[in-house]
Structure 1
């Protein structure tokens, strides 16, 4: 065993061509089982390790996909990172992740492109005109994950994968009205986020069709702490909302903590709560959150498919919308329990919140 062996030495020992060695260590390349066995055995004997950087100079493909994230506080995005990374690895690609807030996304682009990435996935971050145009000029396809491009920033290489957020908002509206609620509040995410905008639009339209409108509205900025403050804002005054739809589970969980522990309200007896995403924490016993499910596996599969199509130039630019469904748990009152909100003080420090 020794280190520093070359592909030529492996080829000589295995009695195959150097291109056969290259194909053996290239994911998805065509090579017979017999050849693969001889090459792998020779590489093990010589201690050979393929040089991905050297191969990228020859193929002009780095097999690296950059993933740009704006924040990781929302439990939905760690799921995305895990499943997207695993799916790309099975296809022979690797993820290079960049964390950047909205104001720094364009600054990070220059660094991203220095790595000769084959494609970029942008999740929980915004795509500016400048960033979109630079990617087009560099020939690097971009996929917006769980985002829709604005009309002004759409470019030929910009494609997207998203849930049907509008339909998800309608599902939440229909479910709460069917359970007898009449004073329904909405907790928005970011005002300029397509996910929050579409969820609210669907929610408002869904209520209107059923003869209702949003009782109160506040903005939680997709932040746990700001969602808590927004919940306190919504539940001020003599008449309180009897239901709350939050633009994601992260904020819904923050709202439930405030309702129970700070305001002394019961969920769902006093206030029903619906979220959006179906993160693992939504099913925890303390929350049992009714929520709109984003199908992460389907979204990831669609993202990888679009990336491969664009990198191989085998299909035109297109976007994919994945359907949603609502999962019922214990945070919304049963249909037959549509009793009026009980009289209760705004704060009960000695209250025992419901599980």
Structure 2
């Protein structure tokens, strides 16, 4: 015979408080005295009571659920960022549902509909952009959206990014100062704002120095394609003497190709610079010079912006851009007089 389910009324009776007091104890942010909370939680533990989150959401109109959409988990940057985002949201009393999407396969519409079916309070899209149609659907549903590590010119969608354009400019300036004559670039997926902005800043700074051409390959943020791009770029006699790779995930693959497949030395024969500063960048095997994405700051700004939109306490939709410093290590020739 199945055991009868314990209700909040049972807990209230056992704790000697009102049913509304029980409800406040299990509602994040609600006002309740420490003594009452202790009595209620003790009674709940003894009775085996668990609050019905879904039922409460019907009453409050808030599910306390955030939908988190991600597309790339191979890149070290995203698993770490997702963990930070989840922990930060849970600390604010929210639950996180993670949805996998592919930016290039066109399944974003389907994923978004699934998210909205869960009656989420907000959506964070990490490494995923939105069409104007999707932004309009979220606005109509009253669900705020924040893009994490993606930018978009749409007043209905907030975003938090590193200053990718400035990062690209810093890389070009470093290579120029190092005396490099033939410079290469391995691009990420060209539909990503991060890729476009990094290359745009890089090309602008080269042009400022009178360098209007650079050798270009396409890696699409994928290891296999980055390896092939490196093989194509560095197998010729007039190979570049340096390369900026649009993220660390690809830069590691490029370095492996240069050393293991082509027998080239890094940085003596080829300087390599990445973007992200994921943990393996500091490993002795790579010792990668790279632009740092300040993940902690990006997560903090993303959560602040989203909760402000949910609670209507923020300043509205924002496009937050966070500076990213160039971290100088040993994978690229260090210009004379340049301090690490």
Q: For 1:255-270, list aligned pairs within 5 A.
A: 255-270=254-269
2:120 is the counterpart of 1:117: yes
Residue in 2 that maps onto 1:134: 137
Shift of 1:231: 0.9
2:319 maps to 319
Q: Which residue of 2 aligns with 1:23?
A: 24
Task: Say if 2:266 and 2:332, in contact at 8 Å, map to a contact too.
Answer: yes
The structural deviation recorded for 1:233 is: 1.7
- Counterpart position of 1:86: 87
Whole-Å separation in 1 of the counterparts to 2:311 and 2:7: 29
Q: How many angstroms apart in 1 are the aligned matches of 2:273 and 2:4?
A: 58
2:220/2:226 contact within 8 Å kept: yes
Question: For residues 85-137 of structure 1, what are the alpha-carbon distances to aligned partners after superposition, in whole Å with 9 as ceiling and x for unaligned?
Answer: 01000001111111111210011221111100111111122311221111111
Match of 1:333 in 2: 333
Task: State the distance in 1 between where 2:35 and 2:4 align.
Answer: 25
Q: How far apart in 2 are the matches of 1:126 and 1:302?
A: 18
Which stretch of the first structure deviates more once superposed, 251-260 or 42-51? 42-51
Alpha-carbon displacement from aligned partner over 1:19-43 (angstroms, at most 9, x marks no partner) = 2211211222221111111111111
**Structure 1: tracts of 5 or more residues without a match:** 338-355
Shift of 1:330: 1.3
Deviates more, 1:215-224 or 1:9-18: 9-18
**Counterpart position of 1:346:** none
Q: In the TM superposition, what is the alpha-carbon distance from 1:209 to its structure 2 partner?
A: 2.3
- The normalised TM-score by structure 1 is 0.90
Distance 1:4 1:260, change over 3 A: same
Q: Which residue of 2 aligns with 1:68?
A: 69
- Which residue does the alignment assign to 1:8? 9
Match runs of 1:1-355 below 5 Å: 4-102=5-103, 103-149=106-152, 151=153, 154-156=154-156, 158-315=157-314, 316-336=316-336
Q: How many residues align?
A: 332
SS at match of 2:286: coil
Q: Is the 8 A contact 1:235 1:241 kept in 2?
A: yes
The question of whether the paired residues in 1 share the 8 Å contact of 2:174 and 2:335 is answered with no
Unaligned stretches of 5+ in structure 2? none
Q: CA 1:209–1:109 in structure 2 vs 1: closer, same or farther (change >3 Å)?
A: same
* Contact 1:132-1:155 within 8 A present in 2 as well: no
Q: 212-221 or 316-325: which moved more?
A: 212-221
Could you report, residue by residue, the CA deviation over 1:284-329 in whole angstroms, capped at 9, with x for unpaired residues? Answer: 1211111000000000000100111111122321121111101111
Question: Could you tell me the TM-score, scaled by structure 2's length?
Answer: 0.94
> Residue 293 of structure 1 contacts residue 327 of structure 1 at CA under 8 Å; is this kept in 2?
yes
- Give the conservation status (yes or no) of the 8 Å contact 2:138–2:144: yes
SS of structure 2 residue aligned to 1:95: strand
